[in-house]
C-alpha cells in the first residue's frame, strides 16, 4: 500500500560533542580535514587500554558554563552522559534562537546513562570493604544512574514543560528519538522538540564489547575487507525540530527538513542482524516511502557502518538490494567519533545535515580494501556533491532495532 508523504518538519538547531571535539565548527574542521577521533582510553585504568576509544578530550566541566539555566545545584546532579547532552542541547537551542522553550518537549536516546558514576561508587564501596573501612559511601550520586535524569536536567535547565521521553533501542535510540519527536510535532502534541541522543563511555559497555570480541585494536575500518571491529565512543548529537508553520511564523532559518522516518525490528537475534538485512531494508524503504521519494532521489547514505564483521556485510547487502550496487555514495563516520551507542543516530543526523548544507560528503576513513560481499560506492576521501538534495542516515542496533531517517535540503 502506497503511503502519503509525511509533513516536513523543520530542523532549526544543531549541537554536537564527541571525540572530534565540541561544537559544529570543530566538527566541520575535523570532517573537512579527515581528522579521526581514535585515541587512548583516559577515563579509567584498564587492562584493555590498548584498545582505542572515541573519547571526548575537552574540559566537560568548563563546557557546562555555556549551558544557560544550569545552577550549581543542578551541576552536582549530572552524570557524564547528562553533561554531554546538556552541552550539545545548549548549542542546538542557541543556534535555533528560540525566545522561550517552556511549551516544548524533549525526546532523547540513551543506553549507558549514568553507569560511569555508578561504577565509581561501586568501586569505592569495594575498596573500603576490602580495606576494612566501615565508613559508608555516599550513594546519593547513584541518582544520576537512570536515563530519566538526563531528561529531568534538560527540562530544568531549559524550562521545558512539554512531553519528555527516553528511548532505549540500543544503537538506534537517538534516530528513533528524532523520528518519533517529529511524529509528535505532526500529531500536534508539540510545536518544538529537542531530540537526539547522548552516551558516555563506561567500563561495562567498553568491557562488554571487548568480551564479545568485536572491538578493533587499531580503530574501526568500516566496510573494509579486513575490518576487525568497532571502536566504542561517547558524545551527543541534538537537534531542534519545529513544525513548518511555527518556524515560518517566527522567521526561523531552516537548516534542513526531516522528511522521512522508518523503523523496524529483525526479531532474529539478540546481537546479530538478520543476515539478509530484511529489517534494515524495511526501515530504509519505509523512510523513503514516507518522504515520498524513490531510491534514486537519495544522493548520499550515512551508513551505520560499525566495522564489525556482521554489521557491515549485512548493511552493504541491504543498501545494494534497495538502491542497486554502487548506485549511491556511502560512508560511515565511525572513525571520526567511534560508535557512540545510543548517541550515534543523533551525531550522524548532525553530520547528514552538514553534508546537505555544505554539499560535501564525509570520508569513510580507514578503508584499505573495500569489502567484496556487496559493491558500494564508498566515499574514501571528502568529495563535493553538487545536486545533493536528500540524505539517508542509518542506525541499526542490537536486537535488530533498525531506524532510518531522511533529511532534505532547505531551499
Q: How many domains does the chain have?
A: 1
For residue 397, give the 3-state DSSP assignment. strand
In a domain, 157, yes or no: yes
In a domain, 295, yes or no: yes
In a domain, 85, yes or no: yes
In a domain, 32, yes or no: yes
In a domain, 173, yes or no: yes
The string of pLDDT tens digits covering residues 269-301 is 666 666 777 999 999 999 999 999 999 999 999
| Ordered alpha helix ranges (H), 212-358 | 244-249, 278-291, 309-323, 334-337, 344-358
Separation between Cα atoms, residue 192 and residue 97, nearest integer Å? 12
| Active centre residues (catalytic) | 171, 304, 339
pLDDT, position 373: 81
Q: Assign residue 98 the CATH number of its domain.
A: 3.40.47.10
pLDDT, position 238: 98
- What is the residue range of 391's domain? 9-409
pLDDT, position 272: 65
Phi first, then psi: what are they for 66, rounded to 5°?
Answer: -85, 0
| Ordered alpha helix ranges (H), 105-202 | 115-130, 148-158, 173-186
In a domain, 291, yes or no: yes
In a domain, 3, yes or no: no
The string of pLDDT tens digits covering residues 82-125 is 999 999 999 999 999 998 777 899 999 999 999 999 999 999 99
In a domain, 2, yes or no: no
pLDDT, position 138: 85
Amino acid at each position: 500500500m502506497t503511503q502519503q508523504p509525511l509533513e516536513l518538519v523543520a530542523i532549526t538547531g544543531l549541537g554536537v560533542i564527541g571525540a572530534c571535539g565540541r561544537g559544529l565548527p570543530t566538527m566541520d574542521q575535523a570532517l573537512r580535514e579527515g581528522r579521526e577521533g581514535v585515541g587512548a582510553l583516559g577515563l579509567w585504568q584498564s587492562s584493555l587500554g590498548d584498545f582505542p576509544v572515541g573519547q571526548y578530550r575537552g574540559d566537560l566541566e568548563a563546557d557546562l558554563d555555556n549551558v544557560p539555566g544550569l545552577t550549581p545545584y543542578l551541576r552536582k546532579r549530572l552524570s557524564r552522559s547528562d553533561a554531554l547532552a546538556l552541552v550539545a542541547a545548549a548549542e542546538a537551542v542557541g543556534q535555533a534562537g528560540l525566545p522561550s522553550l517552556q511549551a516544548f518537549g524533549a525526546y532523547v536516546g540513551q543506553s549507558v546513562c549514568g553507569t560511569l558514576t555508578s561504577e565509581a561508587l561501586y568501586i569505592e564501596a569495594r575498596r573500603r570493604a576490602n580495606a576494612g573501612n566501615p565508613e559508608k559511601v555516599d550513594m546519593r550520586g547513584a541518582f544520576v544512574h537512570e536515563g530519566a535524569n538526563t531528561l529531568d536536567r534538560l527540562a530544568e535547565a531549559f524550562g521545558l514543560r512539554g512531553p519528555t521521553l527516553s528511548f532505549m533501542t540500543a544503537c538506534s535510540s537517538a534516530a528513533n528519538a528524532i523520528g518519533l519527536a517529529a511524529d509528535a510535532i505532526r500529531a500536534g502534541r508539540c510545536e518544538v522538540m529537542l531530540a537526539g541522543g547522548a552516551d558516555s563511555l563506561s567500563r561495562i559497555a567498553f568491557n562488554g564489547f571487548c568480551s564479545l570480541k568485536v572491538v578493533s585494536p587499531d580503530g574501526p575500518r568500516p566496510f573494509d575487507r579486513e575490518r576487525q571491529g568497532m571502536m566504542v565512543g561517547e558524545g551527543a548529537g541534538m537537534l531542534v525540530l519545529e513544525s513548518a508553520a511555527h518556524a515560518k511564523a517566527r522567521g526561523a532559518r531552516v537548516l534542513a527538513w526531516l522528511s522521512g522516518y522508518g523503523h523496524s525490528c529483525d526479531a532474529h537475534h539478540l546481537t546479530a542482524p538478520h543476515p539478509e538485512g530484511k529489517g534494515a531494508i524495511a526501515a530504509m524503504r519505509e523512510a523513503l516511502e514516507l518522504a515520498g521519494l524513490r531510491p534514486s532521489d537519495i544522493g548520499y547514505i550515512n551508513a551505520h557502518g560499525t566495522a564489525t564483521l556482521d554489521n557491515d556485510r549485512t548493511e552493504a547487502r541491504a543498501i545494494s538490494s534497495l538502491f542497486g550496487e554502487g548506485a549511491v555514495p556511502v560512508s560511515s563516520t565511525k572513525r571520526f567519533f567511534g560508535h557512540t551507542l545510543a548517541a550515534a543516530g543523533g551525531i550522524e543526523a548532525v553530520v547528514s545535515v552538514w553534508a546537505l548544507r555544505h554539499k560535501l560528503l564525509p570520508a569513510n576513513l580507514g578503508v584499505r580494501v573495500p569489502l567484496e560481499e556487496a559493491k558500494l560506492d564508498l566515499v574514501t576521501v571528502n568529495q563535493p556533491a553538487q545536486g545533493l538534495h536528500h540524505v539517508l542516515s542509518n542506525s541499526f542496533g542490537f536486537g535488530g532495532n533498525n531506524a532510518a531517517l531522511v533529511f532534505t535540503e532547505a531551499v
